[in-house]
Amino acid sequence: MHNAKDIFIQIMKTNIFSLTLFLILSMIHYRLIPDKDSTELKSCSGEITINSLAGIFSGTSTLQMKDGTGRIYITGSINQNENVRKFVYFHYNKIGESYILKSYNIINKLPEQNNLDTEINKMLPPFFIVPNNSIGITIKHNSDGALISMSNMPIFYCHKS
């Protein structure tokens, strides 16, 4: 015959086990299932076209941002003959849907693009050409990606990767 003390201990062990199991499963769920309401843009890519007096750039842009740092990779061609491959590394500050990006490293994968007088450098803001330049963007999120805008003008739609 069990006394009240033994029954109480058994109930407490069962409750502790159940609570521990619940906490473990909650942590696994939190780590494995992304937050659907998260507005943190970790990685996305999209098609981009720039029309200017210098020509027409057509290509893709990949944006990666996390914890105050990020990079943009631009690849494509101008007038279908001058190739472009460029990485821009930056730090950013977030204020609501607005971000201030400041470049700190720019890598041109094609050596001829290190010349500031190239066609692509005539098309892009200084942020993409010379380190320590800033640019402001707005990111409006939805379930598939985000609309990236500058000065209230959409630049491109970025599909989450």
Summarize pLDDT for 17-37 with one digit per residue, the tens: 444 444 454 444 333 334 444
- Between CA 36 and CA 8 the distance in angstroms is 42
CA-only gyration radius of the chain, Å? 25
Phi, then psi, of 150 in degrees rounded to 5: -130, 130
- Mean pLDDT of all residues belonging to the chain: 76
Q: List pLDDT tens digits, range 109-158.
A: 887 776 766 777 888 888 988 999 999 988 888 878 888 888 877 877 87
DSSP string, 31-95: HHS--TT-----EEEEEEEEEETTEEEEEEEEEEEETTEEEEEEEEEETTTEEEEEEEEEEEEEE
Share of the chain above pLDDT 90, in %: 19
- Bridge partners of 12, per DSSP, are none
Average pLDDT, stretch 46-64?
85
Residue 90 has pLDDT above 80, yes or no: yes
